[in-house]
Amino acid sequence: MHRLLYVSGLSVIVALGGFLLGFDFSVIAGVNPFIKPYWNLSDLELGFTASVISFGTVFGTFSAGPAIDRWGRKKILLICAILYAISAVTSAIATDF
């Protein structure tokens, strides 16, 4: 019974991560028609802004396991939180592509 609860809990966490990725894609898709003329983006630049999420996901997937094994979950989560905060602030203050 305990193992079933553990596996079910992990499944819910993984599903929430998938929902978050889908949410990111839907937000980018909804904003694309507005940011292209606002920032005067070319089709290549617009495609890059949408696809960089996928590149980050792939890179994060392959690099997270070895990093966690080496430095531990807590340190890696702290580093990710710091990088997320830095990227959010720099995105907020960006004036151009």
Give the structural domain span for 56. 2-93
Say if residues 35 and 46 touch (Cβ distance below 8 Å): yes
* Res 96: pLDDT: 74
Q: Shortest CA distance to 91 belongs to which of 63, 54, 60, 49?
A: 49
Whether the pLDDT of residue 89 is over 90: the answer is: yes
How many Cβ atoms from other residues are within 10 Å of residue 70's Cβ? 9
* Res 75: pLDDT: 93
Whether the pLDDT of residue 71 is over 90: the answer is: yes
Q: Quick one: pLDDT band at residue 78, thresholds 50, 70, 90?
A: very high
Q: Give the mean model confidence (pLDDT) for residues 75-82.
A: 90
The total of structural domains in the chain comes to 1
